[in-house]
Amino acid sequence: MLKEHSVGILATGRYLPERVLTNADLEKMVDTSDEWIVTRTGIKERRIARDDQPSSEMAVAAARNALEKAGLTGEDLDLIIIATVTPDMFFPSTACIVQEQLGAKKAAAFDLSAACSGFLYGASVATQFIKSGVYRYALVVGVENLSKITNYEDRSTCVLFGDGAGAAILGPVEDGKGFLSFDLGADGTGAESLKLGAGGSRIPPSKIQPGSPDNYLYMSGNEVFKFAVRVMNTATDTVLDRAGLTKDDIDFLVPHQANFRIIDSAMRRLGLSEDKVVVNLDRYGNMSSASIPVALDEAVSEGRIKEGDTLVLVGFGGGLTWAASAMKWSSVEKGQE
């Protein structure tokens, strides 16, 4: 029988495109205003990938950033999971493209689709492989190229989304540290609330009509908002309970960056001060599966999150899905060993 290990995040990395799309820019594109966007979402600007920039390019950049911090190379990786709803193509997986570019010759590789919950879904899967002793090092990347599927004539959605990638290297850590619990869930009755209609077997590429709404991301904002507020609370309660913790034990909440009103609701319910909640959606908007790992990497890089801190990571997304984890931070980034 294989020995079980405690599993944690050894290092994180991120990549954000250079182009910045501000609210002032959007005012010239659709009937909206900076005041309207900030009041309803908290977003001031977002990053936009180049027209010729695929998701794999951003994922590789974030992955290299994380590998360097961990003191590892692609050849050390046993597993690559790419969480995305905007892959380079349906197949091969974006993970296989990333594997080749990183020189991760021995790594198994696959994509995972759970929308904004994707990074935590991927982390939970990788944790099982490492915990059981099957693999030692795993790369999990949340990457999104949402500008490619956003309708910039639809003011209800185009103000929300941005592009980027966040990566994490997972591996064995000291007992009692790392991931303490997970909660994953889905409610398929909400599948129509957040979707991209075209491109699959229901509306295959050969049947796609130029200009069709099915070519763009669709979201029923009210339905997703109500779902998000509810599951942010229940998922957080679940992972705390499974880890034997209470809300008073939380040092940092790292939530999915979708809407500040949703984050504020969770913050007030948990009784957390603003300095205990990682928020960057004002600068990046909603980056779907990339939002949690990018926020985590920023907080770690800035020295906010330190060895031994108790974190709750929680997100929600299309599916509809949700995911959360409680963890005790343990980093082995170079210079911190």
In tens, the pLDDT along 54-98 reads 999 999 999 999 999 999 999 999 999 999 999 999 999 999 999
Catalytic residue among 23, 116, 145, 158: 116
Catalytic residue check, 5 = no
Whether residues 224 and 169 fall in one domain: no
- Before 87, cis peptide (omega within 30)? no
Catalytic residue check, 256 = yes
Residue 116 is given by DSSP the state G
Calpha distance 24→45 (Å, rounded) = 9
Residue 151: C-alpha distances to residues 215, 219, 224, 231 (Å) = 8, 11, 18, 28
Instruction: Report the residue count for the chain.
Output: 337
CATH number, domain with residue 269: 3.40.47.10
Query: What's the pLDDT tens digit per position in 161-220?
Result: 999 999 999 999 999 999 999 999 999 999 999 999 999 999 998 998 888 999 999 999
Nearest residue to 199 via CA among 189, 186, 212? 212
Range of the domain at 161: 6-176
Whether residues 251 and 296 fall in one domain: yes
Asked which of 176, 196, 231 is the last residue of a domain, the reply is 176
Q: How confident is the model at residue 5 (pLDDT cuts 50, 70, 90)?
A: confident
Catalytic residue among 23, 65, 158, 256: 256
Calpha distance 103→157 (Å, rounded) = 37
Query: What's the pLDDT tens digit per position in 219-273?
Result: 998 999 999 999 999 999 999 999 999 999 999 999 999 999 999 999 999 999 9
Mean pLDDT of all residues in the chain?
95
- Number of structural domains found in the chain: 2
- Find the helix or strand (DSSP H, E) in which 151 lies: none
- Before 240, cis peptide (omega within 30)? no
Task: Give the chain's radius of gyration (CA, Å).
Answer: 19
**Cα-Cα-Cα-Cα dihedral of 191, 112, 215, 32, to 10°?**
80
Catalytic residue check, 116 = yes
Task: Look at the block and give the residue holding tokens 């869930």.
Answer: 185
Residue 336 covered by a domain:
no
Whether residues 322 and 269 fall in one domain: yes
Strand, coil or helix: what is 319?
coil
